[in-house]
Amino acid sequence: MRSARVRSAALASTLGVLALGVLALGVLALLPARARAVRAVLPTSATLEVEATAATPDPDLPAEVMLRMVRTRRLAFLRCYDLALRAHPSLGSGEIAMGVVVAAGGASSTASVTRDGLGEREVSDCAVRVVQGFRFNPGPRAPARFEVRLRYERVRPHSNPR
């Protein structure tokens, strides 16, 4: 009886190790695809400086909160630039300024481009969509107005002379 339990425990242990090995192989098989996906998401073609100022100061939603929100979405804004760069390789550096109104409930109700120094509507339209997705909790009691400025600086890849 005892030897049957020992054999059963040994078999379960062996099966557990095999299952972990198969799982590890499956994970390892996925790594290259995952690495490609991460590389495709991380923008490397531009640097971004952001600014947010309150057009109408509001104690419920200070400009620092808007600036923090813009900074947390930095990769989304850079992704806008990268996508446009694929279609327009000559895309340069420039600044986009947007007027943003945050509704009383905390949703970013309107966002519109007030100045487009890049000259590429694809980037500015994408940036507006990113801002329209902002949600603030708690939101202001009355609509709050901000100006958000995004300065894109094109990063040229280094060439390695041979």
- DSSP states along 73-102: THHHHHHHHHHHHHH-TT---EEEEEEEEE
| pLDDT tens digits, one per residue of 105-146 | 898 778 999 999 999 999 999 999 999 999 998 889 889 999
Residues 79-103: what's their mean pLDDT?
Answer: 94
Residue 12 identity (one-letter amino acid): A
What is the structure's pLDDT at 38? 41
Residues 141-156: what's their mean pLDDT?
Answer: 92
Cβ contact 47:156 at 8 Å: no
Q: Which two tokens stand for residue 11?
A: 């078999």
Q: Which two tokens stand for residue 115?
A: 């100045």
| pLDDT tens digits, one per residue of 47-76 | 999 999 999 888 889 999 999 999 999 999
Report the percentage of the chain scoring pLDDT > 90. 54
CA dist 52 and 61 (Å) reads 12
- The CB-side HSE value for 149 (13 A sphere, CA atoms) comes to 12
Q: What is the DSSP letter of 135?
A: B
CA dist 140 and 54 (Å) reads 13
Residues 29-43: what's their mean pLDDT?
Answer: 43
CA dist 131 and 32 (Å) reads 33
Report the percentage of the chain scoring pLDDT > 70. 69
Reply yes or no on whether the pLDDT at 2 is more than 90: no
**Is the pTM above the cut of 0.85?**
no
Cβ contact 100:50 at 8 Å: no
Cα of 31 vs its chain's centroid, Å: 21
| Beta strand 144-154 pairing with 94-102 | antiparallel
**pLDDT-based confidence at 13, cuts 50/70/90?**
low
